[in-house]
Amino acid sequence: MIDRRKESAAKLAYSIAEVARMLSLSEISIRRKIKAGELPSIRIGKRVLIRWVDIQRLLQLDQEEEPVTLENLRNDLRKLHWGTT
């Protein structure tokens, strides 16, 4: 039997829906970031995937010394989306 928790922890790329859920944002917000060139994506057939490393890079642009945590990712993406500081 496959342990899905271990499998998902080792993922290198996520779908738009997964990234949106993970960061508590809408899929449209994620698609806007991709279209604006702020978040690189990979197209494989009809699927659009976002590499984990690209999410980290996007959010670490102004915070090189701060460790990447899920909460930091959510907060930073909200700031980017809503333009708040």
Domain ranges of the chain: 4-82
Greater pLDDT, 54 or 76: 54
Tokens 């959010």 identify what position?
Answer: 59
Q: Is the pLDDT of residue 1 over 90?
A: no
DSSP code at position 67: P
CATH of 4-82, one of 1.10.1660.10, 3.65.10.10, 1.10.10.10, 2.60.40.1180: 1.10.1660.10
Strand intervals (E) in 1-85: 13-15, 42-44, 47-51
Mind listing the pLDDT tens digit for each residue in 24-53? 889 999 999 999 998 999 999 999 999 999
Phi, psi for 48 (deg, rounded to 5) = -115, 125
38, 81, 33, 83: which is closest to 61 by C-alpha?
38
pLDDT at residue 43, rounded to an integer:
96
